[in-house]
Amino acid sequence: MLSDILAQHAISVTGLSKSLHDCKVLDDISFSANEGEVIAVLGHNGAGKSTLVKCLTGMLTMDSGYIVRQNQSMQILSPLDARKLGIEAVHQNFGLIDELDVVSNFFLGRELHHDNLILKMLGWLDKRLMRFLAGRALERLGCEFRELDRLVKHLSAGERQLIAVARAIHFGAQVVVMDEPSSALGMSQMAQLQEVIRTISAQGVTVLLVSHDMPFIREVCDRAMVLSKGRLVANIKIACTSEEELYSYMMGCGHIKEPDNSLNALLRAS
């Protein structure tokens, strides 16, 4: 049954299309991802990668298609919908506020108030608990982060990214969508990011990773999905392909590879 197959995956996307100003930017995109799978989303400039990310994370409303997660089939109409489904984005700017410290950024918009009724009514935050939880979440990514009181404007790009990822995981993300995560990082920070991605993947979190960085992709990703002119032209295991082949898909050449044959066949038949 189609519904059974879709429900086996951490996330399935079927028939996602999106037009912007009468231009079809995403055309009937269908794919699925397993728990803990790390998937690269590749494509030349204008292929539709950012639009896909925005549709999956509720920043744009898809015109048609639906998402299946946790046996729920729905359209994502807002970032809140995405969040409820356990889908969180880590954007290039990491969604942090420079003038706030690490803990405040970690709980931005989701601050914890004191249990004590009077303190709660006075609007007091439980800063000790927030600090403990933020520190623990960062530790669980394998990062000892001693400077939780520092303003994030004083932190490196790598440290800022860690905060964004730890925050997403702490608040229940099971699918993390990362937009060009390696673009602003030096070599050592890149190695740390690879470790973090491996750590969350081992915890069962699915990672969708938009990137142009082929060595990085080959290092951390299990699979690559290639978009060309808004269509998904390849969906292939990294171990079964080469950089040349991936580039040829990006150029719009080559055959479509479909590891999810059963899913795609059923989708076509349904």
Ligand X SMILES: Nc1ncnc2c1ncn2[C@@H]1O[C@H](COP(=O)(O)OP(=O)(O)OP(=O)(O)O)[C@@H](O)[C@H]1O
Under the criterion CB under 6 A, does residue 181 sit at the interface with ligand X?
no
Q: Measured between alpha carbons, how far is residue 246 from residues 55, 72, 243 in Å?
A: 24, 33, 5
| CB closer to ligand X, 183 vs 203 | 183
Q: Which of 33, 38, 42, 43 binds ligand X (CB under 6 A)?
A: 43
| CB closer to ligand X, 169 vs 221 | 221
Q: Which long-range contacts (CB under 8 A, 24 or more apart) does 57-60 make?
A: 57/82, 57/87, 57/88, 57/89, 57/177, 58/82, 58/83, 58/87, 59/89, 60/18
Measure the CA–CA gap between 19 and 29, rounded to whole angstroms: 13
With contacts defined by CB under 6 A, name the span among 8-16, 39-47, 119-127, 260-268 that binds ligand X. 39-47
CB of 22 to ligand X, least distance (A): 9
Q: Per-residue contact track with ligand X, 15 to 34, x per CB under 6 A?
A: -----xx-x-x---------
With contacts defined by CB under 6 A, name the span among 46-54, 90-98, 113-121, 259-267 that binds ligand X. 46-54
Measure the CA–CA gap between 36 and 222, rounded to whole angstroms: 10
| CB closer to ligand X, 25 vs 196 | 25
CB of 70 to ligand X, least distance (A): 27
Under the criterion CB under 6 A, does residue 46 sit at the interface with ligand X?
yes
| CB closer to ligand X, 42 vs 143 | 42
| CB closer to ligand X, 45 vs 270 | 45
The residue to which tokens 């898809």 are assigned: 62
Q: In the range 47-76, which residues lie near ligand X by CB under 6 A?
A: 47-51
Measure the CA–CA gap between 257 and 261, rounded to whole angstroms: 9
Q: How many residues bind ligand X (CB under 6 A)?
A: 12
Q: Measured between alpha carbons, how far is residue 133 from residues 18, 238, 261, 268 in Å?
A: 38, 36, 42, 46
CB of 246 to ligand X, least distance (A): 15
Q: What phi and psi values does residue 229 have, to the nearest 5 degrees?
A: 50, 45
| CB closer to ligand X, 94 vs 145 | 94
Where along the sequence are the contacts to ligand X (CB under 6 A)?
Answer: 20-21, 23, 25, 43, 45-51
